[in-house]
Amino acid sequence: MPNTLLRLIGGLFMLTVWPSALCAPPAADAFPRLSDNTAGSATLELRKVLHGQVDGMFVVPRTRQVVAAAGGYLWKFSDQGVLQDTLRVHGSLFTSGVVFTAEHFVDWVFTGSAQRKSYGAPMDGNAMSHAEVVAALEQADVVEFGKTDDTTAWAYLWRNGQARKMDLSRHIDKVDTYCHRRTHSAKGLRWQSTCFEGLPPAPRAWVEVDPGSFEHISDTQARVDVVGFDRRRFHLEEGLGGQLVGATVGVALKAMGMPGSLPGRYWLGDAHTRLRVGDEVVQFKAFVPLEDGEYRFMHNMRWWEPATALPGASPWFSVHMRGYMEHKGEAELLRHYEKDIGLYVVRPRGVADVPVARRTVPAWRPVFEGPVTRHVAVTGTVAFASRQTNSAGQVVEPLPAAHVWLRSPPPRPPVDGVQPPVPVDALWPSLHQLPSTLTVAWGQPWQEDEHTVVRIDLVNAETQEVLGRLLGGHAAEAMKLADATRAPANRGRKDKSSHTPAAAQDALELMVRVPDLKAPLDQGQVLLRSGRRQLPLLQARMTYVVQPVEREERPAPLPSTSSSPGPTQQQQLEAVVVAAGSDARTSLPAFLEMAQALAQDTTHAQALAPHLTVAYAQLINQFNGTRDFGSSAALVRHYLTQVHPHIGHITGDNSLAYNQGVIASQTLAFAIHSPQHRDLVDGVLALLIGPDFDPQQQTNGTLMYNLACHYALAGDKPRLLQSAAAARRLGKPGAQFMADKDFERYWADAAFLEVLR
């Protein structure tokens, strides 16, 4: 038997006979695990800022920011590693850092604006010589190129937040749209890269940071040294079968001079690592292999040094999955270091902490509850209230607005035979002041039918009062405990006093609940939650900042016929809708008067019916969202008595029935609890729902939920169950029913609970 095979069997024998002797106990606190996120020195802290695989790193010298690419997002940090903003990567992102499309550009990397911007006046390069074109291109900070066929080409020129397009069709032979540069990120990111013959590479507005060796500063100088090693797993590359083949066939092939190496076998474990940064040393445990007496950090750790392009920036490193994850045994190894995978920064201690003197409330975080948002996060910006006081009674200035994720993207479905990626997310810090506004966004700006941005305005007095009730009067005590335990927690100890109030021990959350992504103002709620307790903020106001273009089904463009109204009437209708939505007190009567006149216009009523119906639906939605139920009631009553009798019989446009359902749904939302509006409930049930209404044919989940509320309060159990089943089919979560007191009498009903499953 070959010596290699004997050594293999001997190694396996040791694993079975002496497992306890080979698995050392955890190291002392002086070497915390990376995933503990507590390592540091006298003046430095080692902090994980991203979890998951990092594909690339860039610096923006003009703003002194570091941008990491990971998980389909760009993550923007300060030069000391404080997370500031994120952006979902667009398919038209170029390696220069700008999104260029035919109609617009996005320069978030350089300006912080994620909005799509229009190009300036076009430029004509066809009348220029090649040298003149090059000279013009050199004036821009960012230049990229495009072409559609053998005759049309153009350049994108960006400078100081503005961009223009230059027609280069005459110079199409000089345009190359596939000149990828050899960079670390090129393979993983596959962003677009273009160039122009004769245009010298210019200093980029952002600069890619190439990762280097984690363990060595240079060939002669080490960055780390290992002073201990806790064995955790003996690894056989390619499994036992691969080892046996290597020990037999592989050895024979090597003896014949064949190139390559045999599958290795070695220990992996926690290396007690001392990392030198300047004059200081940071200690931690890193999971690495010990091969042939060497600690191989190279297999899953990289060093990033943005200071080469951004002097004074903190150093970073990353932990990534080992290569060849498809090989046997690698998936089992992953569980030993998966928590460590991510991006780390070594920065001055406390640079990201909120000073105790500026903290006014216990630590909290915003969260989102609602339907799945495909592969995108629900993001937000928190602005803090003014004139807050800390635990000492001192008035403090509001902190700068904070960018947050309220919910991470859902994981992608697994692919058979492929190791799923480690989900990417930030280690979001807690917030420490009362919010005044919260802007929440989901969808992507280039998907206009889904992109939604909602602004939530909070009333400071209500938030404070509800917070006090939620914490059972222990808000001040929770603040004092948080202040007292801050420093020990940073050193890795979690000291939770036995007399800490239960509410203070639970995570405090500001929850935005949106049951229907297409209608956040209809059923949206804002609540404070701690543990199992949650209390609503009833004075919170939701308004649209960006509304999906096709939030409601729109009527088709009107055909150009002699019986169709002229553009003046349509424009006037649109104008009065906007005015009424802006100021109901002064402009709503004008809308009602015009809508009644158009509905009773026998010549144009059929063509205008879809537009009138969607106008009522939009305005009722809007007024309900601002809790102006008086205006909503006026609209519904006017529609039922003055408009619907004249256009209710009209068919032929799918949007009519849908938007009538929206009117009914929003009427039920405010009227079922208002005795003075009982006539409106009866009216929409008779005229807009009707006796032939079939829940199985409905596509509006909010309508079915509101009908279920009505039937629950009315004690009509059969219709309740039908409506609830339809609402669940259309995406309404069962938890929403169990939290809504309209259904309280049915919370223990077996048939009702079965529908919610």
Q: Does 341 lie in the same domain as 228?
A: yes
Q: Are 290 and 24 in contact (CB under 8 A)?
A: no
Q: Does 507 lie in the same domain as 618?
A: no
Range of the domain at 327: 3-48+222-235+266-348
Q: Are 688 and 710 in contact (CB under 8 A)?
A: no
- The CB-side HSE value for 658 (13 A sphere, CA atoms) comes to 18
Question: Of 21-25, 398-402, 498-502, 672-676, which one has max mean pLDDT?
Answer: 398-402
Residue type, 382: V
Lowest-pLDDT range of 31-45, 54-68, 313-327 = 313-327
Instruction: Identify the residue whose tokens are 């609940």.
Output: 513
β-partners of residue 366 are 510
Q: Does 285 lie in the same domain as 192?
A: no
- DSSP state letter for 637: H
| Pairwise CA distance, residues 553 & 614, whole Å | 8
Q: Quick one: pLDDT at residue 348?
A: 97
Q: In whole numbers, what is the pLDDT of the chain averaged over residues?
A: 84
Question: Of 167-171, 414-418, 446-450, 482-486, which one has max mean pLDDT?
Answer: 167-171
Residue 24 has pLDDT above 60, yes or no: no
Residue 320 within any structural domain of the chain? yes
The answer to whether the pTM exceeds 0.85 is no
Question: Any alpha helices (H) in 260-389, and if so which ranges?
Answer: 330-337
Spell out where 580-637 has E strands: none
Residue 559 within any structural domain of the chain? no
Q: Does 540 lie in the same domain as 504?
A: yes
Residue 215 within any structural domain of the chain? no
| Pairwise CA distance, residues 98 & 403, whole Å | 21
| Pairwise CA distance, residues 8 & 240, whole Å | 9
- What is the full DSSP assignment across 337-361? HGGG-EEEEEEETTTTSPPGGG--S
Three-state SS sequence of 502-517:
HHHHCCEEEEEECCCC
Backbone angles phi, psi at 280, to 5 degrees: -115, 165
Q: Hey, how many other C-beta atoms are within 10 angstroms of the C-beta on 716?
A: 14
Total domains in the chain come to 4
Q: Does 441 lie in the same domain as 310?
A: no
Residue 230 within any structural domain of the chain? yes
- For the chain, the straight-line distance linking the first and the last C-alpha, in angstroms and rounded, comes to 62
Three-state SS sequence of 436-486:
EEEEEEECCCCCCCCCEEEEEECCHHHHHHHHHHHCCCCHHHHHHHHHHHH
pLDDT confidence band for 417 (50 / 70 / 90)? low
Q: Does 712 lie in the same domain as 605?
A: yes
pLDDT confidence band for 438 (50 / 70 / 90)? very high
Q: Does 620 lie in the same domain as 475?
A: no
- Among 155, 173, 172, residue whose Cα is nearest residue 164: 155
CB neighbour class for 66 (10 Å; exposed up to 12, middle 13-18, buried from 19): buried
Q: Does 336 lie in the same domain as 365?
A: no
Q: Does 292 lie in the same domain as 156?
A: no
Residue 57 within any structural domain of the chain? no
Residue 95 within any structural domain of the chain? yes
Provide mean pLDDT across the span 680-697: 87
Q: Tell me the CA distances in angstroms from 666 to 659, 662, 670, one per residue in order.
A: 10, 6, 7
| Pairwise CA distance, residues 150 & 592, whole Å | 56
Q: Quick one: pLDDT at residue 594?
A: 86
Residue 30 within any structural domain of the chain? yes
Q: Quick one: pLDDT at residue 374?
A: 76
Residue 255 has pLDDT above 80, yes or no: no
Q: Does 670 lie in the same domain as 539?
A: no
Q: Quick one: pLDDT at residue 3?
A: 47
CB neighbour class for 172 (10 Å; exposed up to 12, middle 13-18, buried from 19): middle
Q: Quick one: pLDDT at residue 678?
A: 85
Q: Tell me the CA distances in angstroms from 163 to 97, 145, 521, one per residue in order.
A: 13, 13, 36
pLDDT confidence band for 676 (50 / 70 / 90)? confident
Q: Are 520 and 442 in contact (CB under 8 A)?
A: no
Q: What is the CATH number of the domain that holds 690?
A: 1.25.40
| Pairwise CA distance, residues 84 & 70, whole Å | 15
Instruction: Identify the residue whose tokens are 């009730």.
Output: 469
| Pairwise CA distance, residues 390 & 356, whole Å | 8
Backbone angles phi, psi at 624, to 5 degrees: -60, -40
| Pairwise CA distance, residues 532 & 470, whole Å | 10
| Pairwise CA distance, residues 577 & 575, whole Å | 5
Residue 256 within any structural domain of the chain? no
Q: Quick one: pLDDT at residue 245?
A: 59
Provide mean pLDDT across the span 551-570: 45
Residue-wise pLDDT for 599-608, tens only, equals 887 777 788 8
- Say which residue, 445 or 261, is predicted with more confidence: 445
Q: Does 536 lie in the same domain as 576?
A: no
Q: Does 76 lie in the same domain as 11?
A: no
